[in-house]
Structure formats: C-alpha cells, structure tokens
Chain A
Amino acid sequence: MTSNTLIRTRNFAMLALVQVLIFSQIHLFGYATACVYLIFLLKLPRHTSQNELLVWSFLFGLTVDIFCNTPGLNAAAATAMGFIRNTILAIFTHKGLPDDFVPGARSLKWGGYIVYSLACIGIFYTVLFILELFTISYASELFLSVTSSTLLTMLFVTVIECFSRTR
C-alpha cells in the first residue's frame, strides 16, 4: 500500500512536470491545448474510492493551475471529471475482468478504453472552457476548443498507451 502511494506520488510529480513544462506551452491553432496529466486520473484502479479519486483530481488540477496562472479552473474541471469517472468506467466493465483492474487497452480492449477516455476528457474540457469563457460566451468557439483539445489529448493518451509497459 505504501509503495503504491509512493509510486503514485512519483507518477504525479513526473506527469505534472511534463504537463507544465512541455504540454501547457503548446497551443495548436490557438484552440487546442493538451492536458496529458488527465492520464493519471484515467489510470487509477477501478476500485479507487470515490473520495480518493476526488482528492487526487483536485490536487492535480490545482498544481497545474498554479503553474499556468489559472487558479481554480483546472481544479474545478478535473474534480468534475474525477467525480464522474467511476460511473463511466462502470459502463465499460465486463465480467471477464479481475476485481480491481487498471483501466487500459488490455483490460478494456482498445475500443472500450478509447471511448472511456474520450468521455472523461470531453467532460473535463467542457467544464474547463465553459468556466474560462464564462464572461465571453461564443458557442462556436467553445465547441471548437472543446473538440480540438479533446482530440489532441486523446491522441497523446493513445500514443502513451501504445508504449506503456503495464497495460
């Protein structure tokens, strides 16, 4: 359990660094920004308690916020995603799986994993951009931002999944 927490903390720090130093600096076409740190939340085991999931999402969102000068934005969006993740994951859980599995291409099959990730990431960006554009609401711009960012993040999530050892 302790070593599990240690590994998780290490992953947290590494992903946060990569997110803040590399991915947060890349903006494609002025709309799409990849939030690769979401992979940390996607990959938490199936039976992570709802409370633990919420705390991890909030902390991760806040960390990214502090570095990107958007206090509260990522935290709110990530918490929303953490809240709904287990519900979405339950849809893709089938009988052949061990009791406490790590969501991935091996456990959920590629199709399941991609749809599960898309749903989670989509919810994250919808909340994020609605909050960011709170005062200036352009529906078309919102749609464009959500879609392009979701697809870009999905691309990275898929690539990382291909090269991940523990799938």
Chain B
Amino acid sequence: MQTILNFLIKHNHWFLFILLEGISFVLIVSFNNYQNAAMFTSANSIAGNMYETLSDIDRYFGLKSENDALVEQNAVLLNEIQALKEELKGYQDSTMLAEHVAIAGGRQGYRYMSARVVNSSYNKVDNYMTLDKGAAQGVKPEMGVIGKDGVVGIIYQTSDNFSLVIPLLNSKSNINCRVKGTGSYSALHWEGGDARYSYLIDLPRYAVFEKGDTVVTSGFSSIFPADIPVGVIDYLEDSKDGLFYRARVELFVDFTNIGNVFIIGNDGKEEQSELEKKGEKE
C-alpha cells in the first residue's frame, strides 16, 4: 500500500498532465457541439473589446479605399432604384399590381443590419469571424451574413455585444446554392487550403452549366434571400463516385480583407421553419 502511495505521489505530475489534456479535449469537442461556448472564443467581452480597438486603429488607415467602395456601391444602388422605378411604372396600370407587390413585400421580411468585422482568420480548417453586434442589438444565431460582394457566412453564437460567424471558410459551413440561370442546386463546402475557393460537391449530372457560370444562394433555407451572389464556377470535374459533378467555385468575397458586412434578419423565418418541422413529423 505504502509503495503504491509513494509511487502515486512521486508521479503526481502525470495526473495533472492527464487532467489538463482532458480539459483541453473537452473544450475542443464541446466547442463543436455546444452552443454556449462563446465564453471561450473571441466573442467574449474582453477579447472582443480588444479586437474592436485594434480594428478601429486598423480601419483608420483604410478609410480612403473604404470610402471609394461605398461611393461605388451607392452608385450601383441608385442605378438599381432607377431601374426598379421604371419597371414599376410599367405595372402602374396593371390590375396585377396590388397582388404582385403584396406578395413580394409580405411573404418574407428580410431586414438588413450593418456590422463590422473585428476579428477574422482564413488559414485554418475551421475559421471564425467576430462581429461588433450581438444579442443586445438583436442578432440571433443562424442569421445570414453578407458582404458587399456576396455571401460571407452564418451567425453561430452571440454574446451581449459581439457575435461569432461561421464563414464560408469553415468545414462546418454548409450553404445551399444554385447555379444561376439553371435549376441545379447543391451545398457549398469548404475543404481547407486556399481561401479563394470553395466546392459544390454534388451537382446533378443532367444539369446544364459550364465554367464561368455564377453561383447564387438558393433561398430555400430562409437564412438568405434567393439570388445573393456567392462566386463563379472556375473548374469542373467528376465527383469521386462519378455520380455527380464537383465544381470549384471562386468566391466573390475576399476573406483576407473584409471590413463591413450586413447581417440579415428574417421575420418570417420562424414561421417557415415551424411549418417545415410540422411537415417532417407527419
């Protein structure tokens, strides 16, 4: 007995080692499955505030190019408004108008909220991004996030004033996309490596599309409205089992240099997901 005790006391660092490694593994595993782990990420208030200060300083140097980009975007939006107004004029006398507008406006209410990226990475297998808006500003998990060029990701966790995003550059990211102009749908997967590319892995073989086609959101999930740009197909090959096409998609959003984003809230989302759940049950 004494010998065993002595042995245990002499080698007590083994137990500490196993304990600490145990804690680490619990953290690794729980972060992937447990929704309230925000405390151990940069969405906690200390790390969040620090990154915010840093990005304030960093942003100051980018003001000019940011301004240019905003002016450019303004111009595009103005043009769009003009085009829509003209189109509306055409409908003015139509009896269809009332119904048409009511359907477009009332079916799903998407709201946009601007936010700033205070921290992001792009070199790991599972990258994350921290935004400066949180639960106090009305951000909830599973809201969509887009940049001015296209889809960025989906909100994963929120704290009071910060939120954590799973961007497209995360192996957990899984966004349903459509090849524009065709009816082929597929999920977008990132496989690590180059931050510019992601993959559509199960495009049906009968679908007609080619290199250079634009990939947009499908609008099925109610997280993103339909037809938000994602990227351009830049390489096509057969999938491993030969049943599908696999397309490499060059992403529109430059994840190595991202500043302002928009969070998309969907008021009609709960209604839709409730309905879908009901359908699955029956």
Contact = CB atoms under 8 A, between A and B. Distances in A.
A49 B26 CA distance: 26
A162 B55 CA distance: 32
A132 B37 contact: no
Contact of B13 (A50, A61, A72): A50
A72 B16 contact: no
A124 interface: no
A132 B42 contact: no
Interface in B36-80: 37, 40-42, 44, 47, 50-51, 54
Interface stretch (A1-9, A75-83, A108-116, A152-160): A75-83
Contacts of B123: 27, 30-31, 33
Nearest to B128: A69
A133 interface: yes
B2 interface: no
A66 B40 contact: yes
A157 B37 CA distance: 33
B17 interface: yes
B149 to A, nearest CB: 21
Contacts of A76: 21, 24-25, 28
A109 B41 CA distance: 40
A153 to B, nearest CB: 15
Interface stretch (B188-196, B243-251, B261-269): B188-196
Given A51-B12, A69-B128, A72-B31, A58 B37 contact: no
Contacts of B42: 66-69
Nearest to A25: B121
A31 B122 CA distance: 11
A160 B118 CA distance: 30
Contacts of B101: none
A59 B37 CA distance: 18
Contacts of A30: 123, 193-195
Interface of B: 12-13, 16-17, 20-21, 23-31, 37, 40-42, 44, 47, 50-51, 54, 119, 121-128, 130, 164, 171, 191-195
Given A21-B54, A69-B121, A72-B26, 13 more contacts: A50-B16, A51-B13, A62-B24, A66-B41, A67-B42, A67-B51, A69-B42, A69-B119, A71-B41, A72-B28, A76-B25, A79-B21, A136-B171
18 contacts: A30-B194, A31-B123, A50-B16, A51-B16, A55-B16, A55-B20, A65-B40, A66-B41, A67-B51, A69-B41, A69-B121, A72-B23, A72-B24, A72-B27, A75-B20, A75-B24, A75-B27, A136-B171
